[in-house]
Copies of this chain bind each other. A is one copy, B any other.
Amino acid sequence: MNDRIAATPPATLAELLRRGNVFAEQCPSREVLKHVTSRWGVLLLVALLAGTQRFSDLRRKVGGISEKMLAQTLQWLEADGFVARIAHPVVPPHVEYSLTPLGIEVAGKVEVLADWIEFNLPAIMAARAARESGPD
């Protein structure tokens, strides 16, 4: 990755940002992060934590997702090595999606974030309300 900032030794994204470098946008990780944190990426990853599922299962489970977005997001995640796709060559096509070991890990991180937000929603909404009415 980042050829031009390769000199910086042990740099996580966080490190880079703290230092002031931050042209990490030309780094592949930006792309991966985008897939993972995309609207449907988050939901699909968490949904797939429940185990192997078929295309239509996911479509039903995730809800408002269109076929197009489902297919596209699955392809992103597959290309990133997070999702494994297994197509059974039977007459009515049967394809199963599951998380790879790598995918299980990211999905875990995403789930932590999503759950934190869900859990802290009351506090968040409270802070929002307090700001609106309170300290004008």
Contacts and interface: CB of A to CB of B under 8 A. Distances in A.
Interface of A: 1, 11-14, 17-18, 20, 22-25, 28-29, 32-34, 36-39, 42-43, 46-47, 49-50, 60-64, 79-81, 100, 102, 105-106, 109-121, 123-128, 131
A17 B81 contact: no
Q: Which secondary structure characterizes the binding site on chain A?
A: helix
Contact of A14 (B34, B36, B111): B111
Nearest to A30: B39
Integer count of this chain's copies in the complex: 2
Contacts of A121: 1, 28-29, 32
Contacts of A128: 79-81
A98 to B, nearest CB: 14
A18 B44 CA distance: 10
A100 B127 contact: yes
A29 B117 contact: yes
